[in-house]
Structure 1
Amino acid sequence: MLDTLPRSPQRRRLYLMRHGAVTYFDGATGRPVLPEQVSLNEDGVTQARAAGDAFRSAGVRFDRVIVSGLPRTVQTAELVLRHADQTALSTQVWPEWQEIRGGRLGEIPPDELVQAFTGLQRSPVAESQRFLNGESIAELLDRVLGGIARLRADPDWDCALLVLHGVVNAAILSHAVSGGQRLMLGSWVQSPACINVLDVGEGPGDWLLRVANYAALQPLHADERSTTMEALFAQYLRYRSQRG
């Protein structure tokens, strides 16, 4: 007798996180901190620990952990693994998933500041759009989607933790919910140390989004109405006003 029952697709699991909270402007001087050097602040440490506790409580076990290599992702992953009781896992660094690179803030004309800071929030985002006068969306998608192709081509994992960045996560989520297309949707909010849950199948368009922007300490985001870039823009304006 022929077995005519439909087969369940074989999908692998991605837990896609943003790093915990950081302080991009020095509290004493107000000056911007180099994005390549910024570390988790006290809130970020607490958020990463809570995410690890959530994974442990749910019984989630990773077989692959990948970070961008920037300190804030490395620190977040270390704290998550410690609190998830999975410190034996080694962490891989994939630099193609570093955050989108900005230019020099002082070179942005005043009448272009709003667009420079918040332009990535307006869907769909044109590939020509640049982040803070720096890297373009086209350049970001080239490397981020190249990393996705690299990960999908590797058969030696089933449940992976990716600790990355807000705009990088937005590119991955846009790719997933569009069925594998190359585009950037600008409406993704990625809170510090948030968790997104994705299942990826064998076909290029076989993606399932199960959870987006889950924050272990504030799952309903009751007190949040602004985006990270809106908050950073306000901080930058204060810095400029102090310089006078």
Structure 2
Amino acid sequence: MRHGSVTYFDEQGKPFLPEQVPLNELGREQAAAAGRVFAQEKLHFDRVIVSGLPRTVETATRVLAETGQQIELERWPELVELRGGKLSAIPDESLKEAFVGAFDGVVPEDRKFLEGESIGQLMDRVHPCIDRLREDKSWDTVLLVLHGGVNRAILSYALTNQRIFLGNLAQTAGCINAIDVGAVHADWVVRVMNYSPISTLQGESRHTTMEVLLDQYLKSRNRQS
């Protein structure tokens, strides 16, 4: 899953600390809706893994509350979201590329997210985690509650079995993905991707998450100029 919706910028476009933001009202609704889907399908999770950031912990907790399962969350800090740089240091002419460039088609490894971490650096930490998880034969079904960029890295890995990052795989807040994995490295199948229980066709907006966030941030940038 991707964590539920959060509010990254206030009404003036000033950013909140991304390491601390909780779910907003919509995000709480999305997490509960996903939990009800799992409960309806009678899915039993052997393990639940989160990145450790509050938005993933809260999403997983609300999902488990709906399923009635009591499972201790495993925090894997290597699976935190792409780390951005300092927004105020990004020049106006580079803002659009900084916000949306990391999620545009087949993304080069040296492309940076918000002038911070590169796509290559993201894959350097995500791929070994997924390999390690797959090598552990003690579980049958695991729930991972992570982030949009991290999920894209995992889905791209599963779809291509290569070190490729497909940036235009949508990951709506609170969405569910389902991947079946086998015993050998190349044996995995993406069965469900970007399923949003409360918005099946996701027609509320024609913009990506990062396009919306760029628009929100520009309110602050324009006030300062």
- 1:205 is matched with 186
Q: Which has the larger radius of gyration?
A: 1
The question of 1:49 aligning with 2:32 is answered yes
Q: Which of 144, 151, 158 pairs up with 2:140?
A: 158
CA RMSD of aligned residues (A): 1.0
Native 8 Å contact 2:178 2:191 kept in 1: yes
Per the alignment, in what secondary structure is the counterpart of residue 156 of structure 2? helix
- 1:21 is matched with 5
- 2:93 is matched with 111
The question of 1:237 aligning with 2:221 is answered no
* 2:98 counterpart letter in structure 1: A
- 1:6 is matched with none
1:80 deviates by 0.2
1:30 deviates by 3.3
**Which moved further from structure 2: 100-109 or 222-231?**
222-231
Per the alignment, in what secondary structure is the counterpart of residue 210 of structure 2? helix
- 1:137 is matched with 119
Q: Which runs of 5+ in 2 are unaligned?
A: none
The question of 1:63 aligning with 2:32 is answered no
Identity percentage of aligned residues: 52
Question: For the residues of structure 1 that align with 2:223 and 2:31, how far apart are their CA atoms?
Answer: 33
1:204 deviates by 1.2
1:122 deviates by 1.8
Native 8 Å contact 2:13 2:218 kept in 1: no
The question of 1:217 aligning with 2:209 is answered no
TM-score normalized by the length of structure 1: 0.90
TM-score normalized by the length of structure 2: 0.97
Q: Which runs of 5+ in 1 are unaligned?
A: 1-16
**Which moved further from structure 2: 100-109 or 219-228?**
219-228
Instruction: Name segments (4+ residues, structure 1) moved above 3 Å.
Output: none
Count of matched residue pairs? 225
The question of 1:192 aligning with 2:173 is answered yes
Per the alignment, in what secondary structure is the counterpart of residue 18 of structure 1? coil
- 2:21 is matched with 38
- 1:171 is matched with 153
1:153 deviates by 1.4
